[in-house]
Amino acid sequence: MNWLREVARRLRMLVHRSQFDADLEEEMHLHLELRQQEHFESGMTADSARAAARRRFGNATYLKEESRIAWGWEWFENLAQDVRYGARILRKSPGFTAVAILTLALGIGANTAIFSVINGVLLSPLPYKNPKQLVVIKEHDSLPNVIDIQRQTRSFSQGGGINVEKMDYIGATEPVQVRVGLVNAGFLETLGVQPVLGRIISPAEDVQGGPHLAMVSNHFWQDYLGSDPHAVGYTIQLGGNSYTVIGVMPASFAPPAEHADVFVSLIVRDPGAGAERDLHFLHTYWRLKEGVTLAQAQADMAAIDRRLAEQYPAEEKERKSQLVPLHEWLVGDVRSALLVLFGAVGLVLLIACANFASLLMMRAVAERRELVIRAALGAGRGRLIRKTLTESALLSVLGGAAGLLFAKLGTSMLLTLRPEELARLSGIHMDTRVLLFVFVVSVLTGIVFGMAPAWIAARADVAEALKESGRSTTASTMGHSIRRILVTSELAVALVLLVGAGLLIKGFSRLSSINPGFNSANVMTMYLQLPKTRYGEIPKQTQFRRELLTRLNSLPGVQAAMVTDIPLGGNYVGHRFVIAGRPPVAVGGEPKVQTLSVMGDYFHVMQIPLRAGRDFTPLDREGQPLAAIVNEEMVREFFPHENPIGMRIRWAGDTGPPQWMTVIGVAGDVKHSGLNQPTDPAVYTPFSQNDEAWRRFMMLAIRARDVSPGLVEEVKKQIWSLDGQIPVSDVYAMDELIAVSLAQQRFNMLLLGLFAALALILAAVGIYGAMAYAVNQRTHEIGIRTALGAQRRDVLRLVMRDGAKIALFGIASGIAGALALTRLMASLLFEVKPTDPATFAGVAILLALVALAACYIPARRAMRVDPMVALRYE
């Protein structure tokens, strides 16, 4: 407790420092006066009395200093003094200060923005209970399998699956479509979510014929239930059925990768799901038991897979469930991009720091005489270093503060640009961790990069420095060569970034010039789903589809068709199939193709070219021979040396008599899953010959001269004139879908491009600064050369040669660095080699031109040097 009181006393002294000085002064003054008085009264003269008093007292200044030091605040006072002094110096040279702060602010700002994204995406834990225990099975699975795994597992404490289906919700002002998460009881339990109202479904209720219960998301509760605190017990109409609300989820809760507004039991809503082992459509999440490792769980899972495969060879023969930690699975795609960007932005900071150091060095040389005088007056070397470091730390902290502003702008820009993969992770903002990051980075920058100038300052040799006239001393030539090294490395690093950006730009332009296989211009699409209650049978579905298309096609300037899954729309259905006349394949081992149903002139509307055979006609309908159109990839893979037209295929696993379809045509390949994804073999069949009643959904594809909101309204009017309770959703222009599919690549390219531009500017400023300074230092020499008859051209060559040498070294080492580093970004590149020679050459030339342009300005100044003025300058 004593030391605590002592600290309190010391702190009080710190606060009342000026009072302390005054008190001490007064006290000592009184002492001296009383002593002087005493001597005077004993008969001394006034003068000798004062002298004697002083003698007896000792060195008052020294003693005052001693008294202050006793309190232990000396370091603080020095620091405060240095900061005050530094601030004054910085105010006195606003140009230097602004350039230094701006340089650092750009570097730190860009870093902070990227770091906040990394912090939010890669470092922050997922918003679930014990998120480290959560894993996903990469492959989708069926409900019976999920139940079997739950029963057999020795590694998972919980597990559950979800599939999101759109259902119409009646109860809002117009029929709306909501996303319903069809789950089993384990799903919400696995994620460990606690409802804010009510409860979650229990395993006893999650059974065939169980009660219709719904757990609603917080935003559904707000939007449609008016945030009613008594919402539990409400009845809501979903997809033609009544559900009782039993729970409301917290606002912070969302499934890891899905968007859902309501959660209901899959088996209650679809009693057949319990038997459909081969319908793998659930995405499943599992929680590892305490102490179980991923490898153990994977081994356990493999054993379960084997048992299931033996037990159900027809459906599960090829089971291979891969476990991935949930966090890794979620950030997998963005991780490498973010790390490359973080590396890139780190390089930008490095360049900014090099510029900063170079600026400081220039100053240190300019200020050397002042430092030397201070040293001559007795300032310690440590104190001088501290003073210089304080100044650079002050600058870098200011730069960090300004950088925060840039980062704020940068982060909001990143958020508008962010690809879908980042969008689902919401925790992107600046928190204490980010602020700490900025603070540490800026202070370290100041100290590390202030070191060199401080060192130069400390080496000040008093005698020599006072003699010299400001040029060509060892310290300043040393400073000069350090600066050349700094500028060279800046150029090298800038080149690395430019190459990276160049490669991404090239890859992106390759990617965006890829032919998707259809013409996206003037086409829009929307999603419809027919309610099961009124459209449970295929004839009713077909009738609706046919009637709708007739009405839409009668609109002026409109061509409409429909398809199960639109390209780039994110949905995909695949079936196994059998080719007639080929040797039989083991059940479950048949090849898989993408399966699409169409109605109307789909190929015509999408402008997918027909390569062979004929298109579907209205005659290819129910009751007629089954027809199919295959894509080119299917021909390449399965009919490489035959004419596919007339070949017969059927779906594997058909029960009853085989339903053979005859191939009537070949359509061009379409990029269905993404422009950078390969095309799968695909089979198109007419909707009207479809025998799968569960396919009650469709996407309209509408080509019109003018795709406008008015058209969308017109189409909706036509749909609702047929059936007023069919919700419409996912209205997109095809061009938008293409843009979305390019978003991640665009994001990478824009950011790296931005960083490279920043690097280029900073490096140009760096080489400009170095050359301008060099010219300034050599004014005298240039004057003499001119006086001796050197032409302006010679002077130009003199300066430019110097700059060119730096540029050349920088570019050469940059190329070496880029060759080593661009390999790391290979996974981000599309059809471009990380060592693409054209990119390397182009970037090197660009950088050389910029560097020479930056040298040209000081070189011109050198040409205009008047020899008379230069010589008089002495």
Which residues would be at the binding site for another protein (CB under 8 A)? 2, 5-6, 9-10, 23-24, 26-28, 30-31, 34-35, 56-60, 63-64, 66-67, 70-71
Instruction: Report residue 646 as tokens.
Output: 């007339």
Consecutive H or E run containing 592: strand 592-600
Q: How far apart are the first and last CA of the chain?
A: 67
What residue type is 164 in one-letter code?
A: V
Nearer to another protein, 57 or 809 (CB): 57
Q: How far is the CB of 57 from another protein (least distance, A)?
A: 4
Cβ distance to another protein smaller for residue 26 or 174: 26
Min CB(60)–another protein separation in Å? 6
**Complex with another protein: residue 39 or 386, whichever CB lies closer:** 39
Give the separation between CA 340 and CA 122, rounded to whole angstroms: 13
In the complex, minimum distance from the CB of residue 66 to another protein, in angstroms, rounded to a whole number: 4
> What is the closest distance, in whole angstroms, from the C-beta atom of residue 449 to another protein in the complex?
39
Give the E-state strand segments of 239-358 in sequence order. Answer: 241-248, 262-265, 283-288, 323-325
12 or 823, CB closer to another protein?
12
β pairing state of 661-667 and 627-631: parallel
Looking up tokens 């007056």 gives 377
Q: How far is the CB of 813 from another protein (least distance, A)?
A: 58
Total residues belonging to the chain: 874
Shortest reach from residue 30's CB to another protein, in Å: 6
Smaller CB distance to another protein: residue 24 or 740? Answer: 24
Question: What are 720's strand-pairing partners?
Answer: none
Residues 87, 393: contact at Cβ < 8 Å? no
Which parts of 207-312 fold into alpha helices (H)?
A: 218-224, 266-269, 294-311
Of the candidates 364, 446, 357, which has an alpha carbon nearest to the alpha carbon of residue 400?
Answer: 446
In angstroms, what is the minimal distance from the CB of 56 to another protein? Answer: 5
Beta strands in 636-710 (DSSP E): 648-651, 661-667, 682-686, 697-704
Burial of 499 (0-12, 13-18, 19+ CB in 10 A): buried
**656 bridge partner residues:** none
Of 39 and 327, which CB lies nearer to another protein in the complex structure?
Answer: 39
CB of 70 to another protein, least distance (A): 5
CB-nearer residue toward another protein: 31 or 534: 31
H-run or E-run covering 39 = helix 17-41
At 683, give phi and psi (nearest 5°): -125, 125
| Residue where the block lists tokens 């600290």 | 7
Residue 23 or 174 with smaller CB distance to another protein: 23
Spatial separation of the C-alpha atoms in residues 809 and 815, rounded to whole Å: 10
- Give the shortest CB-43-to-another protein separation in angstroms: 16
Tell me how far, at minimum, the Cβ of 48 lies from another protein, in Å: 17
* Shortest spacing between CB 72 and another protein, in angstroms: 8
Secondary structure (DSSP) of 90-108: HHH-HHHHHHHHHHHHHHH
Show the tokens assigned to 33. 């006066």
Q: Looking at beta carbons only, is 20 or 455 nearer to another protein? A: 20
Handedness of CA 360, 364, 365, 366 (dihedral sign): positive
**CB 54, min distance to another protein, A:** 9
Min CB(810)–another protein separation in Å = 57
Q: Which is nearer to another protein, 28 or 147 (CB)?
A: 28
Q: How far is the CB of 44 from another protein (least distance, A)?
A: 16
Of 9 and 433, the one with the shorter C-beta distance to another protein is: 9
User: For every residue of 675-726, which 3-state class applies, written as one string?
Assistant: CCCCCCCEEEEEHHHCCCCCCCEEEEEEEECCCCHHHHHHHHHHHHHHCCCC
Phi, psi values for residue 666, rounded to 5°: -125, 125
Name which of 34 and 376 has its Cβ closer to another protein: 34
Distances from the Cα of 508 to the Cα of 419, 513, 746, angstroms = 15, 8, 7
Neighbours of 157 (CB within 10 A): 15
Taking CA atoms, 257 is separated from 247, 253, 294, 419, in Å, by: 21, 12, 21, 14
Tokens matching residue 651: 């779906």
Residue with smaller CB distance to another protein, 15 or 586: 15
Q: How far is the CB of 440 from another protein (least distance, A)?
A: 34
Angle separating helix axes 792-821 and 837-863, nearest 10 degrees: 150
Contact 561, 605 (CB under 8 A): yes
232 with 244: CB under 8 angstroms? no
Nearer to another protein, 12 or 801 (CB): 12
Three-state DSSP class for 663? Answer: strand
| Shortest Å, Cβ 31 to another protein | 5
Looking at this protein, which amino acid is placed at residue 770? A
Is the Cβ of residue 70 or residue 722 nearer to another protein in the bound state? 70
- In whole angstroms, what is the distance from residue 664 CA to residue 643 CA? 11
Amino acid 257 reads A
3-state secondary structure of 161: strand
Q: Which is nearer to another protein, 66 or 537 (CB)?
A: 66
Is 697 strand, coil or helix? strand
